[in-house]
Amino acid sequence: MLAQANAQLRLTGIVRAIQAAVVAVVFGAWFFVTGAHAINPLFLPAPLAVLNSLAHLMSTKGFWSALGVTAFSTAVAYAIAAAAGIAFGFLIGRSPVLTSAYRPVLAGLFAIPLTLFFPLFVVMFGLGPASKIAFGALYGFFPIVLNTIAGFSGIDPLFLRSARSQGATRVQALRHIFIPGAWPVVLSGLRIGFFITFASVLGGETLSSASGVGHAIAHEADLLDSPPMFAWIVIVLAVTVGLNLFLTLIEKRAGRS
C-alpha cells in the first residue's frame, strides 16, 4: 500500500516536472528564436515587445472601450441565448414526442458551421454590435437548448410517476424532480454556451466590424503591427483561461455543498 502511494507521489512529481519543462521550453524557444532573429518578427514578435505593447495598450482609452464593446455584446447575446435556450429546451425536453421531433434538427444545425450565416447578420443588422449580438445569441442558443433538452428528457419517468401517485402537484414535481434532475446537464450547457457565445462575438468582430476586441486584432494585422496584435491575443487567451478557472472553482464549490 505504502509503496503504491509512494509510486503515485513520484509519478505526480515527474508529471509536474515535465509540465514545467514544457512551459519553460515554449517560453525559452519564444525568447530564443526572436532574439536570434530566426523568425520574421511580423509572425512572432519578441516577448518583451509584446509585454511593452500590452502595457502601452492598457493605458489607452481605446483599449478599454474595445474591451467594453466585446463584454457588452457577449453579455447581451448570452442573456438572450440562455433565456431562449432554457425556455425552448424545457418545452421540448418535457415532451418525448417533441424531443424526438426537434432534437435531430437542432443537433444537425449545430454541427454545421453557423459562421456561414454571419454575412446575413451583417446585411440585416449592420456593422455595429447588433449583428454580433444576434450572431452570438444564435450560436450560444444551440448548446444550451440541446443540453436543456437532454437534461429534462433524461429524467426517469419512474420518479415522476411515484411523485404523482403520492399526490405531488405540477409545481411540486417541477421543483423537486425536474429542476434538480436536469440542473447539472443544463449547467454544463450554459457553460459551453457561454464560451461559444464569446467566441462567436469575437469571430463576428474579426470578420466585419468597426469596434471590439476582434476588430482590434484584425486591425493591428492590417497595419502589420504585430506586437499590439499579440498583446490583444494574450488578453483574449488570459480572459478565457481566467473565466474557465473561475467557473471550475464555482462548480467545485457548488458540488461540495
How many angstroms separate the CA atoms of 206 and 221, rounded? 11
How many angstroms separate the CA atoms of 47 and 190, rounded? 35
30: its cell numbers: 519564444
Between residues 14 and 58, which has the closer beta carbon with respect to another protein? 14
Contact call for residue 188 and another protein (CB under 8 A): no
CB of 69 to another protein, least distance (A): 15
Between residues 80 and 235, which has the closer beta carbon with respect to another protein? 235
What is the DSSP track for 197-254?
A: HHHHHHHHHHHS-SSSHHHHHHHHHHTT-HHHHHHHHHHHHHHHHHHHHHHHHHHHHH
226: its cell numbers: 504585430
Contact 114, 134 (CB under 8 A): no
Contact call for residue 158 and another protein (CB under 8 A): no
CB of 61 to another protein, least distance (A): 22
Contact call for residue 214 and another protein (CB under 8 A): yes
Residues 78-97 that bind another protein (CB under 8 A): 97
Contact call for residue 66 and another protein (CB under 8 A): no
How many angstroms separate the CA atoms of 118 and 160, rounded? 42
Binding residues for another protein, rule CB under 8 A, total 56
Q: Going residue by residue from 100 to 139, which x/- string records binding to another protein, judged by CB under 8 A?
A: xxx-xx--x-xxxx-xxxxxx-xxx---------------
Q: Which residues contact 53 (CB under 8 A, 6 or more apart)?
A: 45, 227, 228, 230, 231
Contact call for residue 52 and another protein (CB under 8 A): no
Contact call for residue 220 and another protein (CB under 8 A): yes
Alpha carbon distance, N-terminus to C-terminus of the chain? 31
Q: Which residues make up the interface to another protein (CB under 8 A)?
A: 11, 14-16, 18-19, 22, 42-43, 97-102, 104-105, 108, 110-113, 115-120, 122-124, 195, 198-199, 202-203, 206-207, 213-214, 217-218, 220-222, 224, 226, 229-230, 232-233, 236-237, 240-241, 244
